[in-house]
Each structure stands twice: as structure tokens, then as C-alpha cells.
Amino acid sequence: MEIVVIWFRRDMRLDDHIALSKAITYAKKHEYKLLALYHLDPFFTEMKMDLNNEHFFQNLAYFVKEARKSQVYVHLLHDDVLRAFQQVMDVYNINAVFFNEDEVGIGQRRDKQVTDFLEKKGIHVSTWQDTHLHGAQDILKADGSHYQVFTPYYQSWRKQEKQPVIKVDKSFFSSGHMICDESLSQKGNEKLRDLIKGCSRKFDQIGTEKAMNTLQQFIQKRLTRYQEKRDIPSVFGTSKLSRFLKTGTISIRTIFHAIYEEALYEDEGRETFIKELAWRDFYHMIYAHYPEMKEKEINSAFQGMRWNDDETLFEAWCKGETGFPLVDAGMRQLNEEGWMHNRLRMVTASFLTKDYLIDWRKGEAYFAKKLVDYDEASNIGGFQWAASVGTDAVPYFRIFNPITQSKRFDPSGEFIRKYVPELEHIDEKWIHEPSKMPIDEQLKSGCVLGDTYPLPTVDHQERRKKAISLFEEAKQQ
């Protein structure tokens, strides 16, 4: 039997899906049946489970269940990726394979490997850019080179027409044109069940319906004040859409056009949010042009930096026990929820690299394990920005003061008290610098410094001077 394959990846939806729509059109034209598959990569299934993986696999299980209700049987194949495709080829004559490509990282390398393998077998491969509003090669300078500074990139990005929402002919699903071969999926089904059983916590904000509800709530309640509320961690002022973009349960096009079509009028909140979507495209483009940036600083002047390898300090940062309340609150939010407010991602990354002088790669890897919305390009770009070693990064002499950031973005200490319960009963006067609290106040609040809550693990002003000296030394080498 001759078939067409639609290969799902981080695009777990049946709506606004380019590769799926194109595969259906192709199958209808040639009168082929369509086989849907998802490849469970042992690289991810065999690694130690953490919040990022747990969230992703729970989304996958939900998507498979919902898709099968819509008569799209997503076959789960758990093996080396080439052997997985060979298993399908042993049973069916594959005419074409459609998928939404990865342009960066391990996904890009896998895509090339699979494409080469299939094309050598005479199978047509059709790939599409679906994860971003603009792909890595879409926004270039007049001379064909890529942008390295965000502002001119954004100016060009803003002028480019955005692709419309893609219509998927769902009537095809109920027409008997979809293949359901349970024997092919048995091993993968069992593996996914085992992965779900091994999860330490259950996530409920998953699936396309929740994603669409989140989008509508954001537009109706928070978009108009987004520019003024998005930096305040204690306020629900952000979109909370990033986790859905991570798994592709909603498309970036659906979000973009809903913001434009359903917002009542053009305002600063909307423009600020649109700019965040452009940042996502920008870092994706940068990663595509600097494929080594996960391991190497883009700014070559800082590729020989002598970072601090103090494991005790790194552990304190990971646990949220640095003695700096806002930093600790941010890290504890990450450890508890698998998500961190964007302002605090900058604060905690800056603290790790400028106060602790610890290699940004260690922080990036820790976030990669914990963040349910982990986007490799954005996370690497964000850490290189905070560490002053990336493209268009914050200058190395501009160093976030964690206490100033705390006073500015959590003035009453509401967010701190929520995530650092040891400080819950401390007076607002001391909440940002509890180390200055007199002993009688410590006893009164039930928070004894050095016992109930740690004293500051470093002196910020001293570390600021040392950080600047370290960067200047690296520049001179």
C-alpha cells in the first residue's frame, strides 16, 4: 500500500499546521492514505526526567489521545530515528514524508539525517517552516548577511507580511483515508505510558483548548496593560503562552493574528507583546547562523573567560539559597513550577554570571532541565545577553543590582513572601535586605539570619568590581 507520512514533532495540534495541511492536499491529489507518526527519541526518553521532559511527555500523551478521538491515529515509534522509519517502510510503501522542520540544534541535525536517508530510498521529503513567524533566512540585510543587532532586525521584521493562519481539511480524517496500525505503535505506546507513570507531578495547563483559552484571556484581560505589568512578578501580567508554543499546541500564527484581529485598538501593550514575538524569531535566527552558540560565546573577546567553578555557590543558586531574596524567589518558582517570570530570568542569570562569576553554560543547562517552556535559542540567547558575551548583549559593566531590582519590581515583597516563606513575616522595611535586620526584629519575625534564612553568600559591590575586572582582563588577552 502506497502512503504519505505526516511526522509530528513539537507541533502537537491538528489546527493551523502547515505540514499536516500540505500532506492532506498531497494525499488527496494522489489518492494515497495518510499515516501519522511521532518518534520517541531514546536521547530524550532515557535521560533523567525533570520538569521540562515531564511537561513535554504529558503534552504528547494528551495530544495522542485527543488526535485519536479525531480519527488521527498517531503512531508512536520508539527507536533510533532511522530504524523507526525503516519499521514503517517494512510494512508500507512510503511515497512522501511531510514535516515541519527544525532549523537549529539537535533537531536540525536529525532532520538532515532523516532527509538524506529517505531521499536515498527515493522518497519525497517535504519540509516546512512552521515554528516561527519568520524563519532563520527570511529577514536578512540588503547584502544578504544576517542581522546581529535586534533593533534594525525588528524594523525589517515588522515590515514583512506575516503568513496567515493555515486551514486544515479535517473532513479528510473521517473519510477512511487515515491509517491505524496498532501493532506498529505498540512499543511506543508502552514507552509513553511508562514515562507518564514516572512523572513526579501532573501538569494541567496542556492541550490546544487550554492554549486557546489562555490566549483569549490574555487578549481580554491583560494585553492593553502588558507593557506596564509584564515586569512585575507578583502580578499576573504576562501571556503565559510560552509553554504552549514550546509543544506547539498552539501556532505562532494563531497567536499573532488573534492579537491583531481581536484586540480592540492598536496600543502600546499590543506593540510590546509583538516585539517579544520578534525577539523569539531574532534569537532563532542568531542560533541558526551561530550553531556553536550553545557551547561558545558569540563575542569572541570573551571566549577565554576564567569563570568561577565554585560548586557550593552554584548549588545555592540552583536551590534559591543565595541570601538575596528576589533571586531566591525566582529560582524557587522555577523549581516548583517549571516556569519563571521573564524579569527574574534576567535577574537570576545576571546574578549567576556577574555576582557568582559562574559560567553561563551551567545556568543555561539548569534552566533547560526545569523550564516547561524551554526554547533553546531564546534561553541560550538570554543567558549570553545577561552574561554580556552574546550578540547585542548588555554591556559587561552594566550589572544588575539584585537588591535594586527587588525594590523596583517587587516593592512590597509580595512575590518574595510567596516563594520564600522564611521571609513571610518580615517587615517590608527589611524584605529586600534581611541581612540588615536587627536581632530583635529577626526573633520577632521568626527569621534568624544564618539559620532560618541564609546570609548573603557574596558581597554584591565587591563582586561587581571583580566581574568588571574579569571582563576587562578577557578583552585584553
Q: What is the greatest pairwise CA distance in the chain?
A: 81
451 known member of a binding site: no
Cβ contacts of residue 298 below 8 Å, gap of 6+?
286, 290, 384, 389, 390, 391
138 known member of a binding site: no
465 known member of a binding site: no
240 known member of a binding site: yes
38 known member of a binding site: no
Cβ contacts of residue 167 below 8 Å, gap of 6+?
21
Cβ contacts of residue 453 below 8 Å, gap of 6+?
323, 420, 422, 423, 434, 447
373 known member of a binding site: yes
- Closest Cα to residue 170, out of 320, 20, 1? 20
281 known member of a binding site: yes
User: Would you say 432 and 325 are in contact if contact means Cβ atoms under 8 Å apart?
Assistant: yes
280 known member of a binding site: yes
181 known member of a binding site: no
471 known member of a binding site: no
85 known member of a binding site: no
User: Would you say 12 and 244 are in contact if contact means Cβ atoms under 8 Å apart?
Assistant: no
Which amino acid appears at position 138 of this protein?
A: D
445 known member of a binding site: no
32 known member of a binding site: no
Helix (H, G, I), strand (E, B) or coil at 146: coil
Q: How far is Cα of residue 376 from the mean position of the Cα atoms in its chain?
A: 6
92 known member of a binding site: no
* CA dist., res. 418 & res. 415, Å (int): 5
154 known member of a binding site: no
Helix (H, G, I), strand (E, B) or coil at 7: strand
Contacts 24+ apart (CB under 8 A), 104-112: 104/136, 104/284, 104/287, 104/288, 104/291, 104/376, 104/377, 105/287, 105/291, 105/294, 105/376, 105/377, 106/43, 107/9, 108/288, 108/291, 110/41, 110/81
82 known member of a binding site: no
Q: Which residues belong to the annotated binding site?
A: 226, 238-242, 273, 276-283, 373-375
Q: Which residues belong to the annotated binding site for FAD?
A: 226, 238-242, 273, 276-283, 373-375
